[in-house]
């Protein structure tokens, strides 16, 4: 059996050392891309979608704003989703980021791990790994908030924040 080498991380263009790289993080849109989410993501240097996209038009709309890294979620079962990877590794401004839809499927480590699936927004740092779940930006589920996240990267340092969208 031939061995497979690990995927090569993608690299985005770097900014000058004085600038902050803004990464928009969205997940669990389930076919709904809210105007408020687009407004929040506008101006991002890169966008990460952590799965359960629901419609390829969502990725197209996000690509109009910035380069996109997306992974397939457990509900992305239509034919179009076959080309979306189950996990992604990228490096932005020297920071290694691993993206997977369900944190239970995590099989890699990086400085930042982004996941979705639970619809529960979370930022947690443990053993020098920053775990970020932006929550769900799609249809409301139970009483969970509608939310996204952003990363701000400068000089190898990463800050994360959750942005709750006003319910409609």
Express each pLDDT in 9-35 by its tens digit.
444 445 655 699 999 999 999 999 999
Cα separation, 156 vs 39, in Å, equals 27
Q: Residue 147: is it exposed, middle or buried by C-beta count within 10 angstroms (0-12/13-18/19+)?
A: buried
Rounded mean pLDDT of 41-52?
98
- The mean of the pLDDT values for the chain is 90
Asked if residue 37 lies in contact with residue 148, where contact means CB atoms within 8 angstroms, the answer is: yes
> In 20-77, which ranges are continuous DSSP H helix?
35-41, 56-63
Model pLDDT, residue 168: 56
* Yes or no: domain 20-164 corresponds to CATH 3.60.21.10: yes
- Percent of the chain, pLDDT > 70? 88
Model pLDDT, residue 109: 84
Model pLDDT, residue 18: 64
Q: What is the pLDDT of residues 51-84, one digit of tens each?
A: 999 999 999 999 999 999 999 999 999 999 999 9
* Closest by Cα among 127, 100, 124, 128 to 114: 100
First to last CA, the chain: 53
């Amino acid at each position: 059996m031939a061995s497979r080498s690990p995927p090569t991380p993608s690299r985005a263009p770097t900014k000058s050392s004085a600038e902050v790289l803004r990464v928009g993080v969205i997940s669990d849109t389930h076919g709904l891309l809210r105007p408020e989410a687009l407004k929040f993501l506008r101006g991002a240097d890169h966008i990460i979608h952590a799965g359960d996209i629901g419609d390829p038009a969502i990725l197209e709309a996000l690509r109009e704003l910035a380069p996109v890294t997306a992974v397939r979620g457990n509900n992305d079962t239509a034919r179009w989703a076959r080309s979306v990877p189950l996990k992604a590794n990228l490096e932005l401004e020297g920071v290694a980021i691993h993206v997977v839809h369900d944190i239970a499927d995590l099989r890699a480590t990086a400085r930042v791990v982004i996941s979705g699936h639970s619809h529960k927004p979370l930022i947690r740092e443990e053993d020098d790994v920053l775990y970020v779940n932006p929550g769900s930006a799609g249809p409301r589920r139970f009483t969970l908030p509608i939310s996204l996240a952003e990363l701000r990267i400068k000089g190898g340092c990463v800050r994360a924040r959750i942005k709750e969208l006003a319910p409609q």
